[in-house]
Amino acid sequence: MRAFASKFGVNTKKHTQAKLWQRIATLLTAFVVMGSALAQIAQAAPGDYVWQKAGTNLSGDQSHWRSIASSSDGTKLAAVESEWNGTSFVGSVYTSSDSGATWTEQTAAGSRGWYSIASSSDGTKLAAVVWGGSLYTSSDSGATWTERTAAGSRNWYSIASSSDGTKLAAIEWGGSVYTLSDSGTIWTERTAAGSRDWYSIASSSDGSKLAAVVWGGSLYTSSDSGATWTEQTAAGSRSWQSIAISSDGSKLAAVVQGGSVYTSSDSGASWSGRTTAGSPVGASIASPS
């Protein structure tokens, strides 16, 4: 998930109707982003939110935060950043065990073009993808990392995890959907999903239900861990930016760049546009763990 923040560890910001949401993982009781362990957002007035300084030890380029993930209780966070150095994308993985008050750069992960990160519910198992590179997993909260070469080197764009961290789903820009079981040792290309400009993917707690969106295209769901996929035409063809799914997979929420928030309570069969959420420039959405 790409973080709004690009500044999440820097300043306090106030944005009417949350117009600049950018990929923030939160503990929610609803699909609209109302609270964050990372940014410690507090509602100031209807449609207004105050963004608080997240913590210290965040030395990465503040304009290139790409993604953030959270444990179910919000105490363990993991974020990735990367930037183009003229030759390749380089960046780092950061973790926090105190709800974002302090951060540690996980140098064992290496300097890479990190693009998305996912976490198990207890925060111990992490999975992250590199644009133009590999998929990596950690079983010790980011202290050590293993490259999952079976997944191949691809333009990875987004990754999702089951609550226990054993089932992963990742998408490739201009390519396919891939699922991995046993924490990333058994990898399967889900050709039924087709080759598309995949932009965001989300997973139910048990990893059986997946939802993914295509930039300038449709929204797709799967109820069999990615073996088969259904195009949810009722959602329409849009510049989808991000998607979230409830723990049981029945409720979905998705956002469109420069558009609205859309929600579904029937696994994607029907959709409602939530115009009161505003019209974000770049948007993201999160759901309860």
| Rounded Cα gap, residues 28 and 192, in angstroms | 32
pLDDT at 87: 87
Q: Does residue 5 fall inside a structural domain? A: no
Q: What is the pLDDT of residues 113-159, one digit of tens each?
A: 999 999 999 999 999 999 999 999 999 999 999 999 988 999 999 99
Number of Cβ within a 10 Å radius of residue 97: 16
State the total domains in the chain.
1
Positions in the chain short of pLDDT 70: 1-63, 183-184, 275-289
pLDDT at 211: 98
| This prediction's pTM | 0.79
Q: Which residues of 22-55 are buried (b: 16+ CB within 10 A; e: fewer)?
A: bbbbbbbeebbbbbbbbbbbeeeeeeebebbbbb
Domain containing 186 equals: 13-277
Q: Does residue 62 fall inside a structural domain? A: yes
pLDDT at 212: 98
pLDDT at 258: 77
Q: Does residue 228 fall inside a structural domain? A: yes
Q: What is the pLDDT of residues 241-265, one digit of tens each?
A: 999 999 999 999 999 987 788 999 9
pLDDT at 185: 76
Q: Does residue 184 fall inside a structural domain? A: yes
Chain centroid to CA 182: how far? Answer: 21
Q: Does residue 162 fall inside a structural domain? A: yes
Q: Does residue 145 fall inside a structural domain? A: yes
Q: Does residue 1 fall inside a structural domain? A: no
pLDDT at 56: 53
pLDDT at 184: 61
Residue 206 · residue 222 · CB < 8 Å? no
